[in-house]
Structure 1
Amino acid sequence: MSLLGAVGVGVLVGTVVGALGAGGGIIAVPVLTYLLGQSEHAATNGSLVIVALTAAAALPGKALRGQVRWRDGLIFGGMTTLGAVPGRFINEFLDAGMLFVSFSVLLLTVSAIMIARSIRGRGSDPHAQTASDVMGDLVGVRRRSLLFVTGAATATGLLTGIFGVGGGFAVVPVLTLVMGFGVREATGTSLLVMIIAAGVSVVTGSIRGSFEVDWLVVLLFAGGSMIGGVLAGPLSQRAKASTLSAAFGVLVGIVGIFTLVRTLTGL
């Protein structure tokens, strides 16, 4: 694929991130590998840069709408360091085949979760204020299990470090179900968490001298992704959440099956 193609695909990836607050890295890694000719480890490294820059581009729009809870996002993001640093060590340890087989399993798991979530969400009003929105602050102390939130943040950082994904697909449910966020607040705040987790992983890999990246391709991809993230902001305000989740789940499932087959067969 041409460098111009990298920009075009980046726009599509950014659209997913801007609309859902999740999914950019999950799509970027196989695209960098199979369409743009990157090695498996270089793709996971490049994806970290793409995730961080795309989230940074989409974040201001969410913030202007009051959909970013900065203190909680900074705390949760800081806690992802517990997983992001060891995740980089694991990424270096895994050979390319094992890395992508594991990544395929992650894709298929996320696909199943997103589709199931969309089915449960059918019929609900995505713009209505839910009980958790109203009661979040009142029951926050009781619902915010420190152990569970720490575990979720660590797992998010671990996934980011190993696979180069932002972890938004894990962050959003934790913020809504455990910390009492509204859905739109959760997607906005997850962008801040992704920036921190990806940034820590990039710094860790750079310090260890293992951060192999084709910067021209990655930055062109990231530029397109940033544009898509900004353009998709209004979409996330209008589209029904269950519809977006279903479409994303199906897309990730297809990518997961393709990645697994390619990895196992070597085709």
Structure 2
Amino acid sequence: MTTLILALGCGAAAGLVLGALGAGGSMLTVPALVYLLGFTPAQATTAGLVIVAVTSLTALVTHSRAGDVRWKAGTLFAVAGIVPAAVAGLAADRLPQPVLTAAFALVAGFAAVRMLRAAFAKPSASCEDGESAGEGPSEARTATVAASGGKPEAHPGKAAATGAGLGALTGLLGVGGGFLAVPALVTRLAFPMRAAIGTSLLVIAVNALASLAMRGSAASSLDWATVVPFAAAAILAARDGRRVASRVSGRLLQRAFAFMLLAVAGLMLIDALS
């Protein structure tokens, strides 16, 4: 009974964060599975991918209905990262765990700093709520917005190149990738925060499913009596997370997400060096 309650509580927390921020699910799921529910790191990574994949897909539907998913750029972004993620995943098996943990922490810290710079920059008069500061619409951007029904699409080449780089990092670090996808979509592709959150769910789902395809045999040995209630609670809580996101300004979400990244980066760096 205690295990079931822990699984439900941890799942609800992970789902709420994933639904509200479009990221962070695996950062809560994997530690909870290891330190609270007794999974080995290998089991936790595989179970985390299962949980994050199904939760992301559910949350993606909700964000899509709200118009917060950029399907064209998001699909390019996600698909371009599949092969690099697989190759990097093979390389990760040959690296010491402290090196991977330290790399994870440094990348997360770098992404957090970039997000904070954008979130605290003084907005221009033309900035919409949730957009990066100082980004007034140029003529080309305005034309792109008009052609896409009011939703600017990123340049395909830039989306694919950024997605490939993210896929490599995701495969190397073994996470869904939302904590990197959201900053990349905001800072590299100039997405408003809410669109970045919604689109990142597509990226997370694709990355998680691609990683699971490489771990099919490991999934069969999971403790499904724990994984299923964890995932069910996460799915239900992700809907509430979307409601939270709809009531909070894009800049506030950026700041909350960045500070969460800094905290995770600090804790992981301490763990790698200890």
Task: Compute the TM-score of the two structures, normalised by the length of structure 1.
Answer: 0.81
Distance change in 2, residues 1:232/1:161 (3 Å): same
Is residue 2:238 matched to residue 1:229?
yes
CA distance in 2, matches of 1:258, 1:115: 19
Using the alignment, how far apart are the partners of 1:121 and 1:228 within structure 2? 33
Once residues 143 and 8 of structure 1 are traced to their aligned partners in structure 2, the CA distance between those partners, rounded to angstroms, is 38
Residues paired across the two proteins, number: 262
Q: Which residue of 1 aligns with 2:11?
A: 10
**Match for residue 144 of structure 1?**
155
Is 85-94 or 50-59 further displaced after alignment? 85-94
Is contact 2:177–2:204 with CA below 8 Å preserved after alignment? yes
Offset at residue 186 of structure 1 (A): 2.7
Contact kept, 8 Å, 1:14 with 1:24, in 2: the verdict is yes
Q: Percent same amino acid among aligned pairs?
A: 29
Q: Any conservation in 2 of the 1:152–1:171 contact (CA below 8 Å)?
A: no
Say whether 1:197 aligns with 2:207.
yes
CA 1:103–1:66: 2 relative to 1, 3 Å: same
Scaled by the length of structure 2, the TM-score of the pair is 0.79
Q: Name structure 1 gaps, 5 residues minimum.
A: none
- SS of 2:73's equivalent? helix
User: Matches of 2:4 and 2:272 in 1, distance apart?
Assistant: 25
Q: Secondary structure at the match of 2:129?
A: coil
Task: Structure 2: give runs of 5+ residues left out of the alignment.
Answer: none
Q: Distance in 1 between matches of 2:32 and 2:202?
A: 24
Q: What is the CA-CA distance between 1:113 and the residue it aligns to?
A: 3.2
Q: Which segment drifts farther, 124-133 or 105-114?
A: 124-133
Map residues 6-85 of structure 1 onto 2, 5 A cutoff. Answer: 6-85=7-86
User: Which piece of structure 1 moves more, 10-19 or 39-48?
Assistant: 39-48
Answer yes or no: is the 8 Å Cα contact 1:161–1:198 preserved in 2.
no
Q: Matched residues in 2 for 1:262 and 1:19: separation?
A: 27
**Pair 172,105 (structure 1): closer, same or farther in 2 beyond 3 Å:** closer
Distance in 1 between residues matched to 2:210 and 2:46, nearest whole Å: 12
Equivalent position amino acid for 2:251 in 1: S
1:166 pairs with 2:176: yes
Is 2:145–2:153's contact at 8 Å kept on the other side of the alignment? no
Distance verdict in 2 for CA 1:143–1:9, change over 3 Å? closer
Opposite residue 210 of structure 2, the aligned amino acid is V
Specify the code of the residue in structure 2 equivalent to 1:262.
Answer: D
One-letter amino acid of the structure 2 residue matched with residue 57 of structure 1: T
Deviation at 1:239, TM superposition (A): 0.4
In structure 2, give the amino acid aligned to 1:31: A
Match of residue 115 from structure 1? 116
- For the 8 Å contact 1:166–1:197, the answer to whether it is kept is yes
RMSD across aligned C-alpha pairs, in angstroms?
Answer: 3.3
3-state SS, counterpart of residue 18 of structure 1: helix
Shift of 1:188: 1.5
Amino acid in the other structure paired with 1:29 = V
Give the corresponding residue for 1:91.
Answer: 92
Deviation at 1:231, TM superposition (A): 0.9
Aligned amino acid, residue 129 of structure 2: P
CA contact under 8 A between 2:49 and 2:211: conserved in structure 1? yes
* 1:10 and 1:222 in contact (8 A); partners too: yes
Amino acid at match of 1:35: L
